[in-house]
Structure 1
Amino acid sequence: MKIFVASLPFEIDDSELKGFFEPFGEVSSAKVIVDKATGRSRGFGFVDMPDEGMAKAAIAQLDGADVDGRTIVVKESEKQ
Protein backbone atom coordinates (compact mmCIF):
# COMPACT_ATOMS: atom_id res chain seq x y z
CA MET A 1 0.00 0.00 0.00
CA LYS A 2 1.30 3.46 -0.89
CA ILE A 3 1.02 5.99 1.94
CA PHE A 4 1.11 9.79 1.54
CA VAL A 5 2.83 11.75 4.33
CA ALA A 6 2.51 15.56 4.46
CA SER A 7 3.61 18.43 6.71
CA LEU A 8 7.00 16.82 7.28
CA PRO A 9 9.76 18.92 8.83
CA PHE A 10 12.08 20.01 6.01
CA GLU A 11 15.13 18.33 7.58
CA ILE A 12 13.61 14.81 7.47
CA ASP A 13 15.32 12.49 4.96
CA ASP A 14 14.28 9.18 3.38
CA SER A 15 15.83 6.99 6.09
CA GLU A 16 14.18 8.95 8.90
CA LEU A 17 10.82 8.75 7.12
CA LYS A 18 11.27 4.99 6.77
CA GLY A 19 12.11 4.79 10.47
CA PHE A 20 8.74 6.25 11.47
CA PHE A 21 6.94 3.36 9.74
CA GLU A 22 9.25 0.39 10.48
CA PRO A 23 7.75 -0.28 13.95
CA PHE A 24 4.49 -1.15 12.17
CA GLY A 25 5.98 -3.64 9.71
CA GLU A 26 8.06 -4.03 6.57
CA VAL A 27 8.69 -0.85 4.58
CA SER A 28 9.62 -1.51 0.96
CA SER A 29 10.43 2.15 0.22
CA ALA A 30 10.27 5.65 1.69
CA LYS A 31 10.89 8.79 -0.35
CA VAL A 32 10.83 12.44 0.69
CA ILE A 33 10.02 14.58 -2.35
CA VAL A 34 12.62 17.28 -3.04
CA ASP A 35 12.56 20.39 -5.18
CA LYS A 36 14.65 19.70 -8.28
CA ALA A 37 16.02 23.24 -8.46
CA THR A 38 17.06 23.64 -4.82
CA GLY A 39 17.39 20.05 -3.60
CA ARG A 40 15.36 21.04 -0.53
CA SER A 41 12.54 18.91 0.83
CA ARG A 42 9.05 19.92 -0.29
CA GLY A 43 7.65 18.74 3.06
CA PHE A 44 5.92 15.59 1.88
CA GLY A 45 6.73 12.08 0.81
CA PHE A 46 5.52 8.56 0.12
CA VAL A 47 5.99 5.26 1.93
CA ASP A 48 5.30 1.80 0.49
CA MET A 49 4.33 -1.02 2.83
CA PRO A 50 3.54 -4.44 1.30
CA ASP A 51 1.17 -5.54 4.11
CA GLU A 52 -2.10 -3.58 3.89
CA GLY A 53 -3.10 -4.33 7.50
CA MET A 54 0.18 -3.05 8.85
CA ALA A 55 -0.01 -0.01 6.59
CA LYS A 56 -3.50 0.84 7.89
CA ALA A 57 -2.26 0.46 11.47
CA ALA A 58 0.63 2.85 10.72
CA ILE A 59 -1.77 5.39 9.18
CA ALA A 60 -4.08 5.18 12.21
CA GLN A 61 -1.21 5.67 14.67
CA LEU A 62 0.85 8.28 12.82
CA ASP A 63 -1.81 10.58 11.34
CA GLY A 64 -1.76 13.71 13.50
CA ALA A 65 1.48 12.76 15.25
CA ASP A 66 3.94 15.47 16.27
CA VAL A 67 7.30 15.29 14.50
CA ASP A 68 9.78 17.97 15.52
CA GLY A 69 6.96 20.40 16.32
CA ARG A 70 4.93 19.72 13.16
CA THR A 71 1.68 17.76 13.03
CA ILE A 72 2.04 15.32 10.16
CA VAL A 73 -0.75 14.12 7.89
CA VAL A 74 -0.67 10.42 7.01
CA LYS A 75 -3.19 8.81 4.66
CA GLU A 76 -3.54 6.26 1.92
CA SER A 77 -2.17 7.68 -1.30
CA GLU A 78 -4.81 8.46 -3.88
CA LYS A 79 -4.74 6.27 -6.97
CA GLN A 80 -3.29 7.98 -10.04
Structure 2
Amino acid sequence: MRLFVGGLPPDITKRDVEGRFAPFGAVAGCDIVPSKGLGASPGECRGFAYVDFEPKDNASLARCLSL
Protein backbone atom coordinates (compact mmCIF):
# COMPACT_ATOMS: atom_id res chain seq x y z
CA MET A 1 0.00 0.00 0.00
CA ARG A 2 1.32 3.45 -0.91
CA LEU A 3 0.35 6.31 1.36
CA PHE A 4 0.61 10.02 0.48
CA VAL A 5 1.93 12.17 3.35
CA GLY A 6 1.74 15.95 3.10
CA GLY A 7 2.67 18.92 5.26
CA LEU A 8 6.27 17.85 5.76
CA PRO A 9 9.02 20.32 6.69
CA PRO A 10 11.80 21.01 4.16
CA ASP A 11 14.50 19.44 6.34
CA ILE A 12 12.81 16.07 6.96
CA THR A 13 14.76 12.93 6.05
CA LYS A 14 13.75 9.54 4.75
CA ARG A 15 14.76 8.04 8.08
CA ASP A 16 12.50 10.51 9.96
CA VAL A 17 9.46 9.61 7.85
CA GLU A 18 10.07 5.86 8.09
CA GLY A 19 10.47 6.14 11.86
CA ARG A 20 7.19 8.01 12.23
CA PHE A 21 5.23 5.38 10.30
CA ALA A 22 6.96 2.22 11.58
CA PRO A 23 4.49 1.83 14.50
CA PHE A 24 1.67 1.36 11.96
CA GLY A 25 3.28 -1.51 10.03
CA ALA A 26 6.42 -2.66 8.25
CA VAL A 27 7.64 0.20 6.07
CA ALA A 28 8.95 -1.09 2.73
CA GLY A 29 10.25 2.29 1.59
CA CYS A 30 9.78 6.01 1.43
CA ASP A 31 10.06 8.46 -1.46
CA ILE A 32 10.54 12.07 -0.37
CA VAL A 33 9.73 14.43 -3.23
CA PRO A 34 12.54 17.01 -3.58
CA SER A 35 11.95 20.74 -3.99
CA LYS A 36 12.28 22.32 -7.42
CA GLY A 37 13.23 25.80 -8.43
CA LEU A 38 15.97 28.34 -7.98
CA GLY A 39 15.60 28.86 -4.22
CA ALA A 40 15.57 25.17 -3.31
CA SER A 41 18.50 23.59 -1.52
CA PRO A 42 19.75 20.19 -2.73
CA GLY A 43 17.94 17.40 -0.89
CA GLU A 44 15.25 19.72 0.49
CA CYS A 45 11.79 18.16 0.80
CA ARG A 46 9.02 19.68 -1.32
CA GLY A 47 6.56 19.13 1.53
CA PHE A 48 5.27 15.67 0.73
CA ALA A 49 6.33 12.05 0.45
CA TYR A 50 5.02 8.59 -0.34
CA VAL A 51 5.38 5.81 2.22
CA ASP A 52 5.17 2.18 1.08
CA PHE A 53 4.09 -0.54 3.50
CA GLU A 54 4.70 -4.28 3.26
CA PRO A 55 1.66 -6.06 1.76
CA LYS A 56 1.16 -8.27 4.83
CA ASP A 57 0.53 -5.18 6.96
CA ASN A 58 -2.06 -3.55 4.68
CA ALA A 59 -5.02 -4.75 6.76
CA SER A 60 -3.51 -3.40 9.98
CA LEU A 61 -2.71 -0.07 8.33
CA ALA A 62 -6.22 0.23 6.88
CA ARG A 63 -7.70 -0.29 10.35
CA CYS A 64 -5.46 2.45 11.80
CA LEU A 65 -6.34 4.91 9.04
CA SER A 66 -10.09 4.35 9.44
CA LEU A 67 -10.10 5.40 13.12
> Could you tell me the TM-score, scaled by structure 2's length?
0.74
CA distance in 2, matches of 1:34, 1:60: 29
Q: Structure 2 unaligned runs (5+)?
A: none
RMSD of aligned alpha carbons: 1.8
Quick check: 1:8 aligned with 2:8?
A: yes
Letter of the 1:41 counterpart: C
Aligned-residue sequence identity (percent) comes to: 32
Q: Trace 1:1-80 onto structure 2 (pairs within 5 A).
A: 1-35=1-35, 38=40, 39=42, 40-50=44-54, 51-56=57-62, 57=64, 59-60=65-66
Shift of 1:54: 2.6
Q: How many residues align?
A: 60
Contact 1:17–1:31 (CA under 8 A) maintained in structure 2 = no
Q: Structure 1 unaligned runs (5+)?
A: 62-80
CA distance in 2, matches of 1:60, 1:23: 16
CA distance in 1, matches of 2:28, 2:45: 21
Letter of the 2:14 counterpart: D
Q: Which has the higher helix share?
A: 2
Partner SS for 1:28: strand
Structure 1 stretches of 4+ with a deviation exceeding 4 A read none
